[in-house]
Chain A
């Protein structure tokens, strides 16, 4: 799961990014509205965390820009102003959720997971695919009812696949969702991660579509 964080306060951005990475999220940071607008329009993210009080371009304008460019990623707005008017403006511009500063990081993580789940078209918080199940609220994968221990990269790949289960996920999309913007993507290492995942959850679950990508299959063909 890859998140775009648009926040001008460097320290707060670092703290949020750090905490989100602890939860296995990939995070790209934009320090102003202009960069945020650009990244949101050019890269593929599962969700964005957008501060409303941004330099250069205000948060609401950034959001409006994304929606105009048909970028439908779920957006959570951060506001230091308790103002409900700001929230209403944000939602009218296309926001999906809000948090008022200061907030607990667990709250942010929980909201982001729910947003991404809903954006993927799932109503219930628990997804399953054969023996594999994913608790979207906590981010925990279980195999046959037992918790699965995964590295951050493995988690990101598996989460991306399970949210799109039974469809082929393009290799390029997968690497976009797994690697942060400043890390060079290496498709070889994607192969390595998938191989490691197959060892953990069983070979049959992840199918390779040659020349295209991977598919997490519920096995009910």
Chain B
């Protein structure tokens, strides 16, 4: 079995093989015991017949053996049915009528060529036995027989009394019993395998639950797997939780580094930008350079921050409240403008993105909408399968198709007077791609720009 085969299948195959083997061994043992029992019954019957024959045996004047009466009671009265007897004396042979005058050839229990016609036996060779011996062989009419053979001494000399039963007399009842037995064992086997399947199911359920919990962690529904686990699974759950904590700490540390880097680079850049304004000559060119540096820094810091979150864990962020928070900022900043802002996102709608990234994506897009709108900004959402499309639209002048394609290129700022326009869109577009989503621009029914962010749905 390969190392990564299913645990359940391993357990089932193992238990299945064991149960089958145990049932087969049981069947064989029971068959053996039954065989012996039936055989014992038959032997007793044959031995009784031999004793009966031997008790009726006597010799006539010629030294020939004779029986004192009829010994052909049932079942020795049915012709050619395998229930035979034969007495081989020194001078003559007596046979049951059922033999129909045929010779009963039987294996010789003393290793001599079989009689009949039996030569007179040597006395030393055939010591009389007091207990019949068993033998198996083929009878006169092609029937398999079971023999009981007893050497006796008679007034006429040593004789051999043989009684036989057909092999079916043993095998018939045995097969009969075995059929019932096999059926019972089969039912037992099915019941055992059913019980084993249930046990494997139940036994592996904590693993299935753990897998479910990990999936929920991945989709952001919970931040760690449940701590109360069966003792066999507990260490795994503990290790998983430790890993999750470590992962979160690494992410936080990476974020902080990037944040510090941003601070470290931008503060001197801000100083430089302001110093440059004191020197009118050539300050425009130099300021352009500062702007370019700012964009490069923003671009690469964005990338670095994104890379820091490129781990396996995905968050779950409710969108509506983040939009409200961002609108609070933008409403205050654009306090001079009467802006009717409508947030139509259902409160429970969540996307599988980090909250900071949702803030960054929606913040940039909403900032543009608030700056460019005349009086209306709307946010809504559409669920499309496993994706959620967040739509931000305004009633501003909108963008021409050329401006739209320009706006998506990193570092393009369509209007220098308004902060971040265009550049924010390209940053947002990069972030959506990080989540395997997309950003599209078109015209809103309100008249202005409509920005659609396609993001993975959570759960």
Give chain A's interface residues, CB within 8 Å of chain B: 9, 11-12, 15-16, 18-19, 53, 80-85, 87-88, 91-92, 95-98, 100-105, 107, 114, 118, 123, 125
Contact = CB atoms under 8 A, between A and B. Distances in A.
A98 B333 contact: yes
A87 B271 contact: no
B262 interface: yes
B329 A16 contact: no
Nearest to A125: B336
Contacts of B427: 82
A85 B305 CA distance: 14
28 contacts: A12-B268, A12-B270, A12-B271, A15-B274, A16-B274, A18-B278, A19-B274, A80-B265, A80-B270, A82-B298, A82-B360, A84-B359, A84-B360, A85-B356, A85-B360, A87-B329, A91-B332, A96-B335, A98-B329, A98-B333, A101-B270, A102-B266, A102-B272, A102-B273, A104-B277, A104-B287, A118-B335, A123-B336
Contacts, number: 98
A12 B328 CA distance: 29
A98 B333 CA distance: 8
Contacts of B328: 88, 91-92
Q: Name which of B266, B294, B298, B364 has the most chain A CB atoms within 10 A of its CB.
A: B266
B301 interface: yes
A114 B326 contact: no
B421 to A, nearest CB: 14
B250 interface: no
Contact of B271 (A11, A98, A114): A11
B312 to A, nearest CB: 22
B267 interface: yes
B262 A97 contact: no
A9 B332 CA distance: 27
A82 B301 contact: yes
Contacts of A9: 267-268, 271
B263 interface: yes
B333 A97 contact: yes
The 5 A-B pairs at the shortest CB distance, nearest first, are namely: A84-B363, A84-B359, A102-B270, A80-B266, A101-B270
A80 B297 CA distance: 11
Nearest to B272: A102
B363 A87 contact: yes
Contacts of B126: none
Nearest to A96: B332
A12 B359 contact: no
Nearest to A107: B419
A91 B431 CA distance: 24
Contacts of A92: 325, 328
A88 B270 contact: no
Interface string B286-307: 0100100010001001100000
Given A88-B326, A88-B329, A91-B332, A105 B266 contact: no
Contact of B294 (A19, A96, A102): A102
Interface in B252-273: 259, 262-263, 265-273
A88 B359 contact: yes
B184 to A, nearest CB: 72
B275 interface: yes
A101 B302 CA distance: 15
B277 A83 contact: no
Contacts of A107: 419
Contacts of B322: 88
A43 B87 CA distance: 139
A218 B272 CA distance: 44
Contacts of B287: 104
A18 B275 CA distance: 10
A7 to B, nearest CB: 9
Contacts of B273: 102-104
A202 B154 CA distance: 170
Contacts of B272: 102
Contacts of B362: 84
Interface string B389-426: 00000000000000000000000000000010000000
Nearest to B334: A97
B355 interface: yes
A125 to B, nearest CB: 8
A83 B332 contact: no
Nearest to A15: B274
Interface string B359-375: 11011100000000000
B355 A85 contact: yes
A37 to B, nearest CB: 20
A103 B270 CA distance: 6
A190 B413 CA distance: 47
A53 B263 contact: yes
Contacts of A12: 267-268, 270-271, 274
Contacts of A16: 274
